[in-house]
């Protein structure tokens, strides 16, 4: 199966071409796009629900919600205030979003009506790391229930992200998860990685996430 590697390169190079088109679109319309990645169940949708509730009146937020199957996340985000600015993408078995899927959705999106676009990827710490979606930055979520060794075991995702959100801090102490260790492990792979600790359940730390988003938008990125 020697053709696998050249084919993978070809797929990724085609993806990069389409990601550049998406990036140009975002830039042209001054939209900040973030690609949200994590394991299944780390809290991507919960974080986005909280973000809509906190910032939805000040910032024009759009959301592309990727899933292997079901539109459950999109439904949750619509209910949380995303309204008509939520676009589901069901990959039908594929383990990641790719730039072609994003370009297809963008046909339905009036980017002039948005400041910030979240792309919620499929829950998977491996495959989505390889696919640029035209985003400004990947934001990786990890929950305290997953174990603090995950950055070492899935390094590509942490290397390619600009921010790590450590979620479910309300469950610290129920396992041997150490905040110091997870940050140390992540920064051993990516020394520039920013870190924010949150609990989407209690709300602790969400102010820092919201400030970070406001700062990103204000910096004119």
Pick 171 or 217: Cβ nearer a second copy: 171
Instruction: Give Cβ neighbours of residue 8 (< 8 Å, ≥ 6 apart).
Output: none
Pick 113 or 153: Cβ nearer a second copy: 153
Contact (CB, 8 A) for 165 and 209: yes
- Closest separation in Å from C-beta 98 to a second copy: 10
Instruction: Give Cβ neighbours of residue 119 (< 8 Å, ≥ 6 apart).
Output: 33, 34, 35, 36, 63, 64, 66, 97, 102, 133, 135
Contact (CB, 8 A) for 169 and 204: yes
Pick 149 or 211: Cβ nearer a second copy: 149
Pick 31 or 86: Cβ nearer a second copy: 86
- Closest separation in Å from C-beta 156 to a second copy: 7
- Closest separation in Å from C-beta 81 to a second copy: 19
- Closest separation in Å from C-beta 102 to a second copy: 16
- Closest separation in Å from C-beta 130 to a second copy: 8
Q: Which residues bind a second copy (CB under 8 A)?
A: 1, 3-4, 7, 10-11, 14, 39-41, 67-70, 72, 93, 95, 122-127, 143, 145-147, 149-150, 152-156, 168, 170-171, 174-175, 201
Number of neighbouring beta carbons within 10 Å of residue 188: 13
Distances (CA, A) of 135 to 14, 18, 19, 27, 116: 16, 12, 8, 10, 11
Pick 93 or 191: Cβ nearer a second copy: 93
């Amino acid at each position: 199966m020697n053709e696998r590697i050249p084919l993978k390169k070809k797929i990724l190079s085609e993806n990069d071409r389409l990601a550049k088109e998406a990036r140009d679109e975002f830039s042209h319309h001054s939209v900040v796009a973030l690609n949200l990645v994590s394991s299944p169940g780390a809290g991507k949708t919960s974080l986005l629900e909280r973000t809509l509730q906190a910032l939805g009146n000040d910032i024009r937020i759009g959301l592309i919600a990727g899933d292997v199957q079901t539109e459950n996340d999109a439904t949750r985000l619509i209910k949380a205030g995303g309204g008509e600015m939520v676009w589901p993408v069901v990959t039908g078995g594929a383990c990641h979003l790719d730039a072609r899927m994003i370009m297809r959705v963008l046909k339905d999106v009036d980017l002039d009506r948005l400041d910030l676009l979240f792309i919620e990827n499929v829950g998977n710490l491996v495959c989505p790391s390889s696919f640029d979606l035209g985003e400004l930055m990947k934001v990786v979520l990890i929950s305290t229930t997953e174990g603090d060794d995950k950055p070492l075991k899935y390094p590509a995702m942490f290397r390619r992200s600009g921010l790590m959100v450590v979620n479910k801090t309300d469950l610290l102490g129920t396992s041997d998860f150490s905040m110091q260790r997870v940050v140390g492990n992540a920064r051993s792979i990516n020394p520039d990685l920013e870190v924010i600790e949150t609990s989407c359940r209690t709300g602790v730390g969400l102010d820092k996430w919201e400030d970070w988003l406001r700062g990103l938008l204000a910096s004119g990125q």
